[in-house]
Structure 1
Amino acid sequence: MKTQKILYKGGEGELIEKKSRFIATTRPVESEEEALAFIAEMKKKYWDATHNCSAFVIGDRQQIQRCSDDGEPQGTAGRPMLDVLLGEDIHNMAVVVTRYFGGTLLGTGGLVRAYSKSVQVGLEASEVIEKRSGFLLKMAADYNGIGKIQYILGKKGLPTIASEYGADVTLEVLVPEEEEKGLKEEITEGTSGRTVYQEEKAVLYAILSDGTPLIEELPQ
């Protein structure tokens, strides 16, 4: 896997369309059971709503895909909602769009647009992150070489996860998979071969909206 978009933090967005109120609630899910439990939770919370339509996608290849119109005309709610998730290429998330009928019929096209737009509003209120393949690269250099290394890392915008200052300086750096080889070559050349690479761990990582790295080590 090079990159994968997932829902990191769920949210809630609201849309008014011809006096009908649409509430989109999103939730990260790892299994169909989790998704179904979330949908049941929303139906209980909004028990008095006209409809609680839903869609979810689960798996590295979005293997599990389900949707429900929950009483709306067939194909006007659940499928358009699912199409938004697939179009955004998001994995492991569920969304429920709750509708309180406002007294004015929207028609087939109007329903499709309203439910699709509601999911977009729900996503805007959520935090979607992109997980990438990469490495945690641990390296040591003398004090003369560390300035050059930090310059190279800064130029590439690569975050230092940990540092230790002793007789030499040890850095642990988060590196995208596609940049690992080139980075090592540039650092080796820039420090005249005096950098020692101590450890390299394969990881999946993402950068959160506040700039914090989220790192998941892969099994060796």
Structure 2
Amino acid sequence: MLFDDSYRTIEAPAEGLFKERGSKFYAFAYPVNSEEDTRPLLTTLREQHPKANHHCYAYRLGLDRNQYRANDDGEPSGSAGRPILNTLYSQDLTNILVVVIRYFGGSLLGIPGLINAYKTATEEALAQAVVLEKYVCDEYQITFPYEMTSEINRIVKAYDLEVTEQRFEIACTFKVLVRKAQLNKVVPAFEGTEKVKIKYLKTV
């Protein structure tokens, strides 16, 4: 294996709550796959909590640490979005958005207090989440004559591939997900099979 193609994310949305000196910090964690996925979630929360003082958030995308964003939404710089993001790093999670909504309780918490509040609220939400290990995969379309079905199924089973779609006609087609780390074995296996055509579709 040339590189690690696995990553940790959450299975479904989760929520947490942290209270500090009258202020309430509601945390909402969501699995996401792109920056575009985050926008409707942020909009919906603003519509659901119009009277909240702050909607702070952070997200992390992809296998590397280069795709991320942290937003303090009016809190002192580095006191809200960054603690949320750092919690995602410390728990080695990606493809995830966490929004922490604050209802101000009348008492100033100071920078250390804010950092602790946003961090703890994030941890509370993540503690309720189911963490999954997933893999970066390429989706391929496999086209083959019907009589080759058993051979195609043998390759699928040998490499434990996920079949996302299958059609049995005169020319049959399978769509399969191939882990990045398996590409150099799986693709030649299909290409080396007579009358079989393989076409790259997308990375998921």
Scaled by the length of structure 1, what TM-score is found? 0.61
Match of 1:56 among 56, 59, 78: 59
Partner residue, 1:126: 129
Match of 1:22 among 4, 7, 25: 25
| Contact persistence 1:22–1:99 (CA under 8 A) | yes
Identity %: 34
Partner residue, 2:178: 218
Partner residue, 1:183: none
**How far did residue 60 of structure 1 move?**
2.2
For 1:199 and 1:96, the matched residues in 2 are separated by 41
Structure showing greater radius of gyration is 1
Match of 1:116 among 108, 119, 127: 119
For 1:88 and 1:56, the matched residues in 2 are separated by 13
Are 1:201 and 2:204 matched, yes or no?
A: no
**How far did residue 61 of structure 1 move?**
1.9
Match of 1:84 among 73, 82, 87: 87
For 1:198 and 1:88, the matched residues in 2 are separated by 33
- Give ranges in structure 1 of 5+ residues lacking alignment: 134-196, 205-215
Q: Deviations over 1:108-142 (max 9, x none)?
A: 10000000011000101211112369xxxxxxxxx
For 1:118 and 1:48, the matched residues in 2 are separated by 19
Partner residue, 1:192: none
Amino acid at match of 2:45: M
Q: Deviations over 1:60-119 (max 9, x none)?
A: 224310010001011100011111111111010001000001111101100000000110
Higher relative contact order (CA 8 A, sep 6+): 2
Match of 1:107 among 99, 105, 110: 110
For 2:114 and 2:36, the matched residues in 1 are separated by 28
Partner residue, 2:183: none
Runs of 4+ in 1 over 6 A off after TM superposition: none
**How far did residue 3 of structure 1 move?**
3.4
Scaled by the length of structure 2, what TM-score is found? 0.66
Are 1:69 and 2:27 matched, yes or no?
A: no
Alignment length, in residue pairs?
A: 148
Partner residue, 1:136: none
For 2:48 and 2:73, the matched residues in 1 are separated by 15
SS at match of 2:74: coil
- Give ranges in structure 2 of 5+ residues lacking alignment: 137-154, 163-175, 180-186, 188-204
For 1:67 and 1:113, the matched residues in 2 are separated by 16
